[in-house]
Amino acid sequence: MGRVLGRIAVVLGLALLLAGCSKLQAEPDADRLGRRFIDAVQRDDWPAIDPALSAGFMADPDHAPKIVLVRDLFPKEPPWRIKLIESERTRPPLLGRETQVELSTLRYLYGFSGREVAVDLTVELAGTKRVYDRGQKLTGKDPFREVKLYRVVAITAQPVTSAAVKANGFLAPGKGLVHLAFLVGLVGSPVIMVLTAVAAARSPGLKFKWWWVLGAFVGVGTVWINWTTGALGAQWQAVNLFGVAATKGQSPLAPWIFHFAPPIGALVVLLRLKTLPRQNQP
């Protein structure tokens, strides 16, 4: 039994390794625009704000009031700390790329005396241009380099208060049957996978046994919940290995997001075990 569990641990480790993936990070040019734009918003510098807006944002009749709401959250003095706490980049798919744009979401934490403000900024890639860089010329490199141009698609902000931080905690009040049911699925999915893998590993009549063991950890799709709001979602166009995860952004106002993959692979393996001759069952 110990040898079987050891092999299961190796297979599980391989599954977790294959399941890992890194997030795309925002481009430095997007971060540069984001900091300049937020600074312009705080200074109420509309000649700098308007050219930085995307065509869609500018066409929104409420774009100016939305920016004013963000501006009013900032005090008059300059921030003593600006930190990019999260960044995500969404690339358009290969098919239809010419009709879609690359988006970057930047999350900043602005610190002032006795106050913090979390700012979410979404920008879109609007093109590129070649610029002259005197620093590169002095080092003997090509003085011309290509920079990416971005435009602001949306901006929101929220003051960081102790009440808001507590509201996004795991043990915050307001959890109901939806949260409880999701926890059952979150715990039950990996338990079913592991027990099915053990049963497959111990089955003497199962050919290609370790492929079936690995298949027990395959989940189809992903179900997720925003632990703060209770909002549920699902994406079925994905195949995961041991797809259980809990994530929380670096922002103090970020909610817990829990994911699990329905154990479809384990169900297929169980059906295969049921079709084995009775005498070959463990």
Q: Encode pLDDT of 40-52 as tens digits.
A: 999 999 999 999 9
Q: Are 101 and 178 contained in the same domain?
A: no
Domains in the chain: how many in total?
2
Q: How far is CA 104 from CA 52, 125, 151, 255, 261, in A?
A: 15, 8, 10, 20, 27
Q: Are 150 and 189 contained in the same domain?
A: no
Q: Are 35 and 118 contained in the same domain?
A: yes
pLDDT digits (tens, 9 = 90+) for 210-228: 888 888 888 888 888 888 8
Mean residue pLDDT of the chain comes to: 81
Q: Are 225 and 275 contained in the same domain?
A: yes
Average pLDDT (67-75) is: 93
| Position 196 in a domain | yes
Q: Are 239 and 211 contained in the same domain?
A: yes
The residue among 160, 187, 209 that closes a domain is 160
Q: Are 222 and 138 contained in the same domain?
A: no
pLDDT above 60 (res 163): yes
Q: Are 142 and 189 contained in the same domain?
A: no
| Position 193 in a domain | yes
* Full-model pTM: 0.63
| Position 147 in a domain | yes
pLDDT digits (tens, 9 = 90+) for 124-148: 998 888 877 766 666 767 777 788 9
- Are 219 and 21 in contact by the 8 Å Cβ rule? The answer is no
Q: Are 88 and 42 contained in the same domain?
A: yes
Question: Range of 104's domain?
Answer: 28-160
Q: Are 132 and 37 contained in the same domain?
A: yes
pLDDT above 90 (res 275): no
Task: Look at 21 and 104; give whichever has higher pLDDT.
Answer: 104
Q: Are 48 and 151 contained in the same domain?
A: yes
| Position 18 in a domain | no
Q: Are 120 and 203 contained in the same domain?
A: no
The residue among 109, 139, 160 that closes a domain is 160
| Position 119 in a domain | yes
The residue among 125, 160, 195 that closes a domain is 160
Q: Are 152 and 64 contained in the same domain?
A: yes
| Position 14 in a domain | no
